[in-house]
Amino acid sequence: MTKNTIWTVLGVILAIVIAWWLVNVLFSVLVLVVKLLIVAVVAVVVYAGIRALTRSARD
């Protein structure tokens, strides 16, 4: 193996490791965003339900 071949192989391995790490980070962020959106929707529904209950209790 020549020196260039070794550096090429090391570069490919490093690129794969970095890509693997970036994909993990991106999926973690994506999961966090989806969870936040679900929590926001549920919070709005719960708020509307509580508001409807208190409004009917006042009337």
pLDDT at 2: 86
Please state, in angstroms and rounded to a whole number, the distance separating the CA atoms of residues 58 and 24: 51
What pLDDT does residue 1 have? 74
Provide the pLDDT for residue 57. Answer: 67
What is the predicted pLDDT for the residue at 58? 66
Whole-model pTM? 0.67
Q: In what helix (H) or strand (E) does residue 2 lie, and over which residues does it extend? A: none
Averaged pLDDT in 10-residue chunks for the chain of 59 residues = 89 98 98 98 97 80
